[in-house]
């Protein structure tokens, strides 16, 4: 432990909190979303502004401490925390400031998706972000970011207008298309490799406040037919219509018959951003995929839908995820999916795929670091469980599925869904953008001080 280092230099003039092992707030402050990760940093520095970040970086460098950065603490690989290092924790910097006239928002890096959506929706505005409201806007944005608005408005990074970045040499830089444009290119997908972001500026769009959304559920015995029909249908739908697939044991939702509770099921969430009438016609077509076991649709506030999956994704469980990109889903890939849903190791495990065709596919691969512009479906295997004794079974299930389905996947990988043991996948994830990322990393962080991420290693 490095707790005997004198912190006076850091605390002098520091506006935030410095938390050390043994302090009252330490145990709470070191918790992150994935309970598999159990690290004990020497210092947790809860910054309150960018000057605090500069002090924290200088202090870490002087005392030879590893640096990690925590936005919302959701990253599955647990990169926001390490043993004996200094964690820059943004949980006290959550402000979201909207300019309704310009349809833009400045966002501090500790804001969660809930903080963001609730503030921008006061003005009837939104931008594409993820589907679990406790996720951090910072990590999500830096790796790409997708959600229910992606078909229509692109990835989160496609809507990032500028950022304020504190570099490892303690400089505060503005990054946008004109200023430090190489840095701006890199942070739009390149993760936390290049500096510490202290502010994000996003473009916003009129959305809601009401959307039409809900769930259509089929019994798993119809999986082959339903999944094929879904695949052929979804590619014909307009961009304001979204339907994804969740394959899991059915939770005891009130609109589902008891006979299906805790049995494998096909859940088709649907989100219709506008043109509800056309959307309802499309839902009617979806009912014909098989014999639905239940459904629950209606108009609701956009922010409610953005929080609808939170109960399934609460913090504190053990998690191991794997993910592939697909340009199409062949019959054979669906067969492998069905095979592994039939072997779900726990009732919390699931497979999920999102259909993201649309705006993101129109952006050139080299426009920014995020490269997966041919991606139409993203598939994520959520291994999720409670006790350590189950680690091996669940991890093996996720890995086996991942390996067996790899031959059907397209190039690239989503860095935000990568676990800690996928370091050799990073260059593949960035494909033809990797070399440029490496050059920019060499310029802004040549000694790889920011290495707790899906690392672009310059050494
Ligand atoms: C339940 C759940 C649901 C999800 N749903 C979606 C989804 O719908 N769409 C989607 O696109 N992704 C989704 N994700 C993935 C998510 O985007 C990543 O886990 C992301 O890393 C979370 O960001 P965070 O700030 O919460 O993470 P953290 O763990 O806090 O940070 C992750 C990494 O980001 C970097 N970082 C964070 N803040 C900063 C900063 N201020 N400056 C520089 N670097 C920083 C650091 O390298 C850090 O290690 C989901 C994840 C979970 C666990």
pLDDT of residue 452: 97
CA distances from 359 to 57, 146, 198, 222, 352 (A): 38, 11, 28, 32, 21
User: Cα–Cα distance between 353 and 395 in angstroms, integer?
Assistant: 19
- All residues at 6 or more sequence positions from 421 whose CB lies less than 8 Å from its CB, including other chains: none
* pLDDT at 12 (0 to 100): 80
298 Cα to the center of ligand 1, angstroms: 30
Task: Report how far residue 456's alpha carbon sits from residue 326's, in angstroms, rounded to the nearest whole number.
Answer: 24
Q: How far is the CA of 354 from the centre of ligand 1 (A)?
A: 18
Decide if 438 contacts 369 (C-beta within 8 A).
Answer: no
pLDDT computed for residue 8 by the predictor: 81
Distance 289 CA to ligand 1 centre (A): 35
Q: Is 85 in the pocket of ligand 1 (CB under 6 A)?
A: no
How high is the pLDDT of residue 11?
Answer: 81
Instruction: Determine the pLDDT at residue 2.
Output: 57
Q: Give the per-residue pLDDT at 14.
A: 85
Pocket test for ligand 1, best of 73, 95, 130, 175 (most atoms within 8 A of CB): 130
| pLDDT, position 215 | 98
Cis peptide before 120, with omega less than 30 degrees from 0?
no
The residue whose CA has the least distance to atom 51 of ligand 1 is 74
Task: Please work out whether the CB of residue 260 comes within 6 Å of at least one atom of ligand 1.
Answer: no
What pLDDT is stored for residue 29 in this prediction? Answer: 97
Write out the two tokens for 240.
């304001």
Cβ atoms of residues 198 and 165 within 8 Å: yes
- Cα angle 328, 333, 335 (rounded to 5 degrees) comes to 140
Give the pLDDT of residue 423: 86
For every one of its 459 residues, what pLDDT tens digit does the chain have, with 9 covering 90 and above?
Answer: 455 788 887 888 788 899 999 999 999 999 999 999 999 999 999 999 999 999 999 999 999 999 999 999 999 999 999 999 999 999 999 999 999 999 999 999 999 999 999 999 999 999 999 999 999 999 999 999 999 999 999 999 999 999 999 999 999 999 999 999 999 999 999 999 999 999 999 999 999 999 999 999 999 999 999 999 999 999 999 999 999 999 999 999 999 999 999 999 999 999 999 999 999 999 999 999 999 999 999 999 999 999 999 999 999 999 999 999 999 999 999 999 999 999 999 999 999 999 999 999 999 999 999 999 999 999 999 999 999 999 999 999 999 999 999 999 998 999 999 998 998 899 999 999 999 999 999 999 999 999 999 999 999
> What gap in Å lies between CA 132 and CA 74, rounded to an integer?
10
Among protein residues, the one with the nearest Cα to ligand 1's atom 11 is 145
Q: Is the CB of 241 under 6 A from ligand 1?
A: no
């Amino acid at each position: 432990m490095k707790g005997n280092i004198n912190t006076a230099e850091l605390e002098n003039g520091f506006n935030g909190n410095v938390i050390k092992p043994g302090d009252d707030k330490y145990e709470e402050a070191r918790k992150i979303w994935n309970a598999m990760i159990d690290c004990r940093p020497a210092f947790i520095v809860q910054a309150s502004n960018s000057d605090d970040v500069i002090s924290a970086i200088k202090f870490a460098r002087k005392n030879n401490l590893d640096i990690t950065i925590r936005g919302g603490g959701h990253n599955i690989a647990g990169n926001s925390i390490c043993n004996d290092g200094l964690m820059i924790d943004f949980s006290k910097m959550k402000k979201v400031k909207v300019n309704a006239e310009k349809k833009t928002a400045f966002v501090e890096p500790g804001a969660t998706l809930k903080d963001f959506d609730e503030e921008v929706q006061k003005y009837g505005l939104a931008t594409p972000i993820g589907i679990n409201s406790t996720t951090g806007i910072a990590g999500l944005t830096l790796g790409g970011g997708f959600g229910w608005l992606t078909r229509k408005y692109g990835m989160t990074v496609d809507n990032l207008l500028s950022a304020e970045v504190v570099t490892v040499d303690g400089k505060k830089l503005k990054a946008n298309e004109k200023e430090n444009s190489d840095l701006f290119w890199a942070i739009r997908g390149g993760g936390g490799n290049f500096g510490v972001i202290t502010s994000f500026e996003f473009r916003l769009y009129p959305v809601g406040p009401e959307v039409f959304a809900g769930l259509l559920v089929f019994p798993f015995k119809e999986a082959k037919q339903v999944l094929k029909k879904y695949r052929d249908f979804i590619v014909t739908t307009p961009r304001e219509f979204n339907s994804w697939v969740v394959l899991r044991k059915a939770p005891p939702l009130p609109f589902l018959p008891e006979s299906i509770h805790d049995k494998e099921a096909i859940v088709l969430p649907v989100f219709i951003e506008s043109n509800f009438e056309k959307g309802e016609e499309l839902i009617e077509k979806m009912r014909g995929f098989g014999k639905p076991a239940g459904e629950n649709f209606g108009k609701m506030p956009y922010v409610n839908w953005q929080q609808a999956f939170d109960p399934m994704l609460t913090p504190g469980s053990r998690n191991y995820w794997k993910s592939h990109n697909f340009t199409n889903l062949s019959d054979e890939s669906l067969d492998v999916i069905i095979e592994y849903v039939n072997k779900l190791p726990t009732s919390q495990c699931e497979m999920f795929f999102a259909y993201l065709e649309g705006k993101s596919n129109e952006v050139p691969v080299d426009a920014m670091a995020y490269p997966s512009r041919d991606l139409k479906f993203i598939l994520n295997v959520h291994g999720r469980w409670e006790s350590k004794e189950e680690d091996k079974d669940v991890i093996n299930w996720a890995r086996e599925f991942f390996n067996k389905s790899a031959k059907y996947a397209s190039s690239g990988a989503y860095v935000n869904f990568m676990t800690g043991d996928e370091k050799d996948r990073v260059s593949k994830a960035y494909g033809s953008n990797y070399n440029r990322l490496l050059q920019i990393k060499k310029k802004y962080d040549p000694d790889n001080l920011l290495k707790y991420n899906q690392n672009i290693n310059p050494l």
